[in-house]
Structure 1
Amino acid sequence: MEQLLNADYSGAIGTSGLVSMVVSLLCVVLSWWALQNLKLDLVIRYPKSPQGRLLHLLLAIVLGHFVAGFLLDYLGWSGMMRNLFY
């Protein structure tokens, strides 16, 4: 019985990790796409240089991380709502 319970927890943790990774990567890609419209040449001298592209990538990662965190928190909170009516 205890092995079955541990297997269920392991499967749930693995699924949660996989969902978190996929959502995070999708949010970074979405942020990268959205930042393509940003005029970095107003802030950076050479936006096409390796440093400019690295800054663009880092901005996409940071923005994607915050968006993914919000979405995953919201998903967790909505999952807790079913406990409200027990």
Structure 2
Amino acid sequence: MVSQFGHEALISIISQLVFMAVAFYALQALNFEKLIRANRVFQARLLYIVLTIALGTILSNFFLDYLLWSKQLQFLLQFVSFL
């Protein structure tokens, strides 16, 4: 039981990091130079990091929820066979 929590924590950490890398890669396709004011390099980089974290977290949460729901489908099938 305790090892189950360890596995879920490890999957969550890896998922967060992988989807942040995917979000960072995807954001590189956008041209932010037209949206950022001149001489605001630090703020532009900070915005880039915040957007990467936000998109990565959203994608990771979707993936982890989907994984959890797919694991819970077995309980639905057991309930239906019980009826």
TM-score of Structure 1 vs Structure 2, range by shorter chain? 0.7 to 0.9
Q: What's 2:32 paired with?
A: 40
Q: Identity over the aligned pairs, expressed in percent? A: 33
CA distance in 2, matches of 1:72, 1:16: 9
Candidates 23, 27, 40, aligned match of 2:15? 23
Matched, 1:81 2:73: yes
Q: What's 1:56 paired with?
A: 48
- Structure 1 residue 52 displacement after superposition: 1.1
Instruction: Provide TM-score, normalisation by structure 2.
Output: 0.86
- Structure 1 residue 39 displacement after superposition: 1.0
Change (3 A) 1:23 1:36: same
Which structure 1 segments of 5+ residues have no match?
A: 1-8
Instruction: Provide TM-score, normalisation by structure 1.
Output: 0.83
More deviation, 51-60/65-74: 51-60
More deviation, 50-59/19-28: 50-59
Q: What's 2:62 paired with?
A: 70
Change (3 A) 1:79 1:20: same
- The alignment covers a number of residue pairs equal to 78
- Structure 1 residue 61 displacement after superposition: 0.3
CA distance in 2, matches of 1:49, 1:30: 23
Which structure 2 segments of 5+ residues have no match?
A: 79-83
The DSSP-based 3-state class of the residue aligned with 2:7 is helix
- Structure 1 residue 74 displacement after superposition: 0.4
- Root-mean-square deviation over aligned CA pairs: 1.6
